[in-house]
């Protein structure tokens, strides 16, 4: 048997389960609900962190949807604002998902620290 190097050592089971909750939480509303159920069985800091990020992200998307109704009545400028806001949400979602895949507790830019502050004890 070959000696294992640090690169070949498999991650501990807890870290893998932790990342699973974090990753699944970003995959649609159903994935978020599944991640909450998995997380309730074994609570981890990484899982709780990303669940708070996604909760804030979903609530922001709902608010953005209501704002979109108002902006839709403003020709061209309002439509461009809607496009820019939804593109920004997509970028935030990608950044959050990449942080979850890498197992990092890195908040989404601008709004991520606010989500952690507002939902600080949620999912602990």
- What is the number of other CB atoms lying within 10 angstroms of the CB of residue 10? 8
**Residue 120 pLDDT more than 90?**
no
Return the SS3 of 94.
Answer: helix
Res. 10: pLDDT tops 80? no
Express each pLDDT in 51-102 by its tens digit. Answer: 999 999 999 999 999 999 998 898 899 899 999 999 999 999 999 999 999 9
**In the prediction, which pLDDT does 123 show?**
80
Domain extents for the chain? Answer: 13-115
Q: Helices 28-41 and 13-25 meet at what angle, rounded to 10?
A: 150
The region that residue 3 occupies, defined by phi over 0 for left and psi between -120 and 50 for alpha, beta otherwise, is: beta
């Amino acid at each position: 048997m070959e000696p294992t190097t640090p690169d070949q050592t498999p991650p501990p089971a807890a870290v893998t389960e932790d990342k699973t909750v974090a990753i699944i939480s970003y995959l649609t509303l159903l994935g978020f609900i599944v991640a909450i159920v998995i997380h309730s069985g074994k609570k981890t800091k990484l899982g709780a962190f990303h669940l708070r990020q996604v909760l804030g992200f979903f609530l922001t998307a709902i608010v953005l949807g209501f704002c979109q109704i108002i902006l839709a009545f403003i020709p061209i400028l309002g439509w461009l604002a809607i496009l820019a806001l939804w593109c920004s949400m997509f970028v935030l979602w990608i950044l959050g998902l990449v942080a979850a895949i890498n197992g990092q507790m890195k908040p989404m830019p601008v709004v991520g620290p606010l989500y952690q502050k507002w939902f600080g004890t949620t999912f602990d």
